[in-house]
Structure 1
Amino acid sequence: MSEQPYGSRMAESEDKGLQQDAWPEAAQQSLQLMMARVNSVLLGKKEVVTQVFSSLLAGGHVLLEDVPGVGKTLLVRAIARVMGGEFRRIQFTSDMQPADVVGGMIWDGKRGELVFRQGPLMANVVLADEINRTPPRTQSALLEAMEERSVSADGETRLLPQPFMLLATQNPLRDDGTYPLPEAQLDRFMMRLSIGYPAAEDEIAMLEGKTAQRLQPESLRPVIIPEEWLRMQRDALSVHVHPALMAYAVHIVSATRTSQDLLLGASPRATLDWVRAAQATAYISGRRFVVPDDLKQTAEHVLAHRLLVRDEALVRGKTAAAVLSAIMSAQPIPVPSGDGGRRR
Structure 2
Amino acid sequence: MRQELTSLIEQYETHIHGQSLNIKLLLASILTGGHVLLEGVPGTGKTKMVRTLASLLGGTFHRIQFTPDLLPSDITGSMIYNMKEGSFQTLKGPIFTNILLADEINRTPAKTQAALLEAMEEKQVTIQGETFELPDVFFVVATQNPIEFEGTYPLPEAQQDRFLFKLTIDFPSLEEETKVLRERIENKVNSQPIPTFLDMDTFAIIRKEMEQVTIRDSVLEYIMKIVRLTRESEMFRFGASTRAAIAIGKASQAWAYLSGRDYVTPDDIKIVARPALRHRVQLSPHTELEGATVDQTIAELIGSIPVPR
* Range class of TM-score, shorter chain: over 0.9
TM-score normalised by length of structure 1: 0.85
Looking at structure 1, the residues matched to 305 and 83 of structure 2 have their Cα atoms a distance apart, in angstroms, of: 65
Q: When the two structures are aligned, how many residues end up with a matched partner?
A: 308
Q: After superposition, where does 1:147-226 map in structure 2 within 5 Å?
A: 147-172=121-146, 174-209=148-183, 212-214=187-189, 219-226=193-200
Q: Which residue of 2 aligns with 1:80?
A: 54
Q: After superposition, where does 1:1-344 map in structure 2 within 5 Å?
A: 27-172=1-146, 174-209=148-183, 212-214=187-189, 219-335=193-309
Shift of 1:110: 2.1
Looking at structure 2, the residues matched to 74 and 94 of structure 1 have their Cα atoms a distance apart, in angstroms, of: 24
Structure 2: tracts of 5 or more residues without a match: none
Taking only the aligned residue pairs, the percentage that are identical comes to 40
Shift of 1:221: 1.1
Higher Cα Rg, which structure: 1
Shift of 1:246: 0.2
Whether contact under 8 Å (1:253, 1:266) holds in the other structure is: yes
Shift of 1:307: 0.7
Looking at structure 2, the residues matched to 250 and 222 of structure 1 have their Cα atoms a distance apart, in angstroms, of: 39
SS in 1 for 2:279: helix
Deviations 1:63-104 (A, max 9, x none): 110111011111001001101121111111111011111112
Amino acid of the structure 1 residue aligned with 2:85 = R
Deviations 1:225-260 (A, max 9, x none): 111111111211210001000011012111112233
Amino acid of the structure 1 residue aligned with 2:232 = T
Shift of 1:173: 5.3
Shift of 1:306: 0.8
Q: Which residue of 2 aligns with 1:8?
A: none
Shift of 1:213: 4.2
Over the residues paired in the alignment, what is the CA RMSD in angstroms? 1.8
SS in 2 for 1:104: strand
Q: 1:182 to 1:113 in 2, by over 3 A?
A: farther
Whether contact under 8 Å (1:265, 1:308) holds in the other structure is: yes
Shift of 1:329: 2.0
Amino acid of the structure 2 residue aligned with 1:208 = R
Structure 1: tracts of 5 or more residues without a match: 1-26, 336-344
Amino acid of the structure 2 residue aligned with 1:162 = D
SS in 2 for 1:306: coil
Amino acid of the structure 2 residue aligned with 1:257 = R
Looking at structure 1, the residues matched to 17 and 296 of structure 2 have their Cα atoms a distance apart, in angstroms, of: 29
Amino acid of the structure 2 residue aligned with 1:234 = K
TM-score normalised by length of structure 2: 0.94
* Structure 1: 4+ residue segments shifted above 4 A: none
SS in 2 for 1:249: helix
